[in-house]
Amino acid sequence: MQRLTSRLRRRLDGERGATAVVVTLLLVPLLGFAAIAVDLGALYAERARLQVAADAAAIAVAQDCSRGNCGDMLATAQQLISLNDPTGTAGQPVLSSDPVSVTVTGGAPKEHWFAPVIGHDSSQVSATATVGWGAPSRGTAVLPLTFSWCSFKAQTGGGLPSTETLQTIMFSKSDDVGGCTGPSGNFVPGGFGWVVPDPGRCHATSAIGQLLSSDTGVSLPAGCSKADLEGWLGRTVLLPLFDQFGAGGSHGWYRVYGYAAFTLTGYAVNGSIKSGHKVCGPGTNSSDRCVTGYYTRFVELSDDWDYSPDAPQLGASILRLIR
């Protein structure tokens, strides 16, 4: 019985030794599979983080360039890369004129956990983002309102808006800036600059070259309320400018020339729909209609707008990620 026990013990010890050898032989491929599963997953996560950083950096540089001053593009790009990925490093941003855009590439080292077993201590991860920009060519204005291109030129000195000088823009019946309205005192008989909004909304979608139907009278168009105007006080909106107009009454129209950015600070429409007393300035009366604010440079990031290199540049730019 003792001899049988000893023989069984020797046999088990031999199997343990064989198991140890098998485990040792399998350890390297097991670690290799771990490297693929864990380290490769970490690489994808790092690249996703770096892509977000590159996107943010390209957008930031494009915002500066679209305003007319690119500044220190590398410093701007590095700042945004670092904010989103502390280990990331930005390369020199590259400008392009066809299309007008900027490309930012970011890189970051990623140390591996298991891959050193198979000879790979770390990998260099990279991500690239390209952002294009241009003047708005089509979109949805948040207020169904249009001003004249002639008036815009008169108030900005014929160029792009560059200051935040507060201005009062009278509705077309009283808009005599630069003699734009002519002796009739109005562009479209029965029209005051309001256009027919999108159905059920206080918005108006349009495109360059499109004819916008005039909404007659000084009252707010159907679908709009004082709350709509109140909600945009202190904010910048894109509004269409018209260069041609015709007919009158319910058949009146304005032709869209381009889009300008306007920061709204006050309004007086009719009756109780106004943001304060004497909004339109000294010497005006309760029958005068206006909005106050200033034309400004502005960058729009929303998907509500399209841009075109052929659209008139009036100070507003639309940015798009085109990577």
Look up tokens 């690119």; give the residue: 70
- Same domain? For 127 and 201 the reply is no
Q: For residue 37, give the nearest of 123, 121, 112, 122 by alpha carbon.
A: 112
Look up tokens 């001053």; give the residue: 69
Q: Give 142's contacts (C-beta < 8 A, 6+ positions apart).
A: 202, 203, 232, 237, 238
The pLDDT of residue 112 is 61
Q: What is the mean pLDDT of residues 66-90?
A: 94
- Same domain? For 41 and 70 the reply is yes
Here the tokens at position 57 are: 């950096």
Least confident of 6-20, 192-206, 243-257: 6-20
What is the pLDDT confidence band of residue 83, given thresholds at 50, 70 and 90? Answer: very high
- Same domain? For 33 and 96 the reply is yes
The pLDDT of residue 1 is 52
- Same domain? For 64 and 150 the reply is no
The pLDDT of residue 8 is 46
Q: What is the mean pLDDT of residues 52-72?
A: 94
Q: What is the mean pLDDT of residues 16-36?
A: 59
The pLDDT of residue 3 is 54
Task: Return the sign of the alpha-carbon dihedral for residues 60, 65, 68, 72.
Answer: positive
The residue count of the chain comes to 323
> What total number of domains does the chain contain?
2
- Look at 114 and 255; give whichever has higher pLDDT: 255
The pLDDT of residue 101 is 95
Return d(Cα 262, Cα 237) in angstroms, integer: 5
In terms of residue numbers, what domain contains 146? Answer: 142-321
pLDDT greater than 80 at residue 29: no
Look up tokens 């989103």; give the residue: 84
The pLDDT of residue 154 is 83
Q: What is the mean pLDDT of the chain?
A: 83
pLDDT greater than 70 at residue 125: yes
Boundary (domain end) residue, out of 134, 154, 184: 134
Return d(Cα 107, Cα 88) in angstroms, integer: 5
- Same domain? For 127 and 161 the reply is no
Instruction: Bin 82: left if φ > 0, else alpha if -120 < ψ < 50, else beta.
Output: alpha
Return d(Cα 99, Cα 15) in angstroms, integer: 71
- Same domain? For 13 and 33 the reply is yes
pLDDT digits (tens, 9 = 90+) for 139-176: 999 999 998 898 888 888 777 787 777 888 877 655 55
- Look at 207 and 190; give whichever has higher pLDDT: 207
The pLDDT of residue 5 is 53
Q: 177: which DSSP letter? A: G
Boundary (domain end) residue, out of 107, 134, 161: 134
pLDDT digits (tens, 9 = 90+) for 261-274: 999 999 988 767 88
Boundary (domain end) residue, out of 134, 156, 172: 134
pTM for this entry:
0.79
- Same domain? For 189 and 282 the reply is yes
pLDDT greater than 80 at residue 293: yes
- Look at 287 and 199; give whichever has higher pLDDT: 199
Q: What is the mean pLDDT of residues 238-248?
A: 91
- Same domain? For 183 and 311 the reply is yes
Q: Give 314's contacts (C-beta < 8 A, 6+ positions apart).
A: 135, 152, 160, 161, 241, 258, 259, 260, 261, 295
